[in-house]
Structure 1
Amino acid sequence: MLNTFQQEQHPLLPKSTHDESSRQEFSKSLKAFVQQGLLPGLQPVFTQRAAKHFEQQHGRAPQDRRDIRKAMEVDLYFQHYAALNRISQEAMWNSVIDAVDRQLPELIEKARDWSAKTKAELRMDPDFVPPKYVTALDIHCMPGGYASEVTKDDVSVAALYDRGAYLYGMGFAGPLNDDMGRSVCNYIRRNLPGFKPRRILDMGCTVGHSTLPYKQLFPDAEVWGIDVGGPVVRYGHARAAALGVEVNFAQMNAEKTDFEDGYFDLIVSHILMHETSGKAMPRVVRECHRLLSPGGYVIHADLPPFDNMNAFTQFILDNETWYNNEPFWGAMREVDQIKLAVDAGFPAADVAFATAPMAILEAAAEGAAGYTDASTSAVADREFTAGEFAPGGGWEVLIARKAVLA
Structure 2
Amino acid sequence: MLNTFQQARHPMLPSATHDEASRQEFSKSLKQFVQQGLLPGLQPVFTHRATQAFERAHGHAPKDRRDIRKAMEPDPYFQHYAALNRISQEMMWNSVIDSVERQLPDLIDNARKFSAQSKAELRLDADFVPPRYVTALDIHCMPGGYASEVTADDVSVAALYDRGAYLYGMGFAGPLNDDMGRSVCNYVKRNLPGFKPRRILDMGCTVGHSTLPYKTLFPDAEVWGIDVGGPVIRYAHARAAALGVDVNFAQMNAEKTDFEDGHFDLIVSHILLHETSGKAMPRIVRECHRLLSPGGYVIHADLPPFDLMSPFTQFILDNETWYNNEPFWGAMRELDQIQLAVDAGFPRDSVKFATAPMAILESAAEGAAGYTGDSTSAVAEREFTAGEFAPGGGWEVLVARKAVLA
Q: TM-score range by the shorter chain?
A: over 0.9
Shift of 1:222: 0.2
- Secondary structure of the residue aligned to 2:298 is strand
CA distance in 2 between counterparts of 1:384 and 1:112 reads 38
Shift of 1:382: 2.6
Q: Superposition RMSD on alpha carbons, in Å?
A: 0.6
Shift of 1:380: 1.5
TM-score normalised by L of structure 1:
0.99
Partner of 1:188: 188
Partner of 2:144: 144
TM-score normalised by L of structure 2:
0.99
Q: Extract unaligned runs of 5+ from structure 2.
A: none
Partner of 1:89: 89
Shift of 1:384: 4.6
Does the CA contact (< 8 Å) of 2:12 and 2:242 recur in 1? Answer: yes
Q: Extract unaligned runs of 5+ from structure 1.
A: none
Tell me which stretches of 4 or more aligned residues in structure 1 moved more than 2 Å.
Answer: none
Shift of 1:36: 1.0
Q: 2:121 is matched by which residue type in structure 1?
A: E
Shift of 1:386: 1.4
Cα offsets for 1:256-309 (capped at 9, x unmatched): 000000000000000001101010000000000000000000000001111121
Shift of 1:4: 1.5
CA distance in 1 between counterparts of 2:34 and 2:226 reads 34
CA distance in 2 between counterparts of 1:114 and 1:30 reads 35
CA distance in 1 between counterparts of 2:381 and 2:152 reads 44
CA distance in 2 between counterparts of 1:69 and 1:313 reads 11
Partner of 1:245: 245
- Secondary structure of the residue aligned to 2:334 is coil
Partner of 1:218: 218
CA distance in 1 between counterparts of 2:223 and 2:166 reads 24
Q: 2:342 is matched by which residue type in structure 1?
A: V
CA distance in 2 between counterparts of 1:26 and 1:379 reads 20
Cα offsets for 1:41-68 (capped at 9, x unmatched): 1011111111100000011111000000
Does the CA contact (< 8 Å) of 1:36 and 1:384 recur in 2? Answer: no
Q: 1:247 is matched by which residue type in structure 2?
A: V
Partner of 1:102: 102
Partner of 1:305: 305
Matched, 1:288 2:288: yes
CA distance in 1 between counterparts of 2:125 and 2:163 reads 26
- Structure 2 matches for 1:234-273, cutoff 5 A? 234-273=234-273
CA distance in 2 between counterparts of 1:375 and 1:61 reads 44
Shift of 1:388: 1.8
Shift of 1:324: 0.3
Partner of 2:377: 377
Partner of 1:48: 48
CA distance in 2 between counterparts of 1:30 and 1:308 reads 30
Does the CA contact (< 8 Å) of 1:363 and 1:369 recur in 2? Answer: yes
CA distance in 2 between counterparts of 1:80 and 1:120 reads 48
Number of residue pairs matched?
406
Q: 1:111 is matched by which residue type in structure 2?
A: A
Shift of 1:119: 1.1
Partner of 2:69: 69
Partner of 1:132: 132
Partner of 1:29: 29
Q: 1:285 is matched by which residue type in structure 2?
A: V
CA distance in 2 between counterparts of 1:286 and 1:34 reads 39
Does the CA contact (< 8 Å) of 1:3 and 1:25 recur in 2? Answer: no
Does the CA contact (< 8 Å) of 1:352 and 1:400 recur in 2? Answer: yes
CA distance in 2 between counterparts of 1:264 and 1:402 reads 11
CA distance in 2 between counterparts of 1:111 and 1:393 reads 35
CA distance in 2 between counterparts of 1:85 and 1:382 reads 22
- Secondary structure of the residue aligned to 2:190 is helix
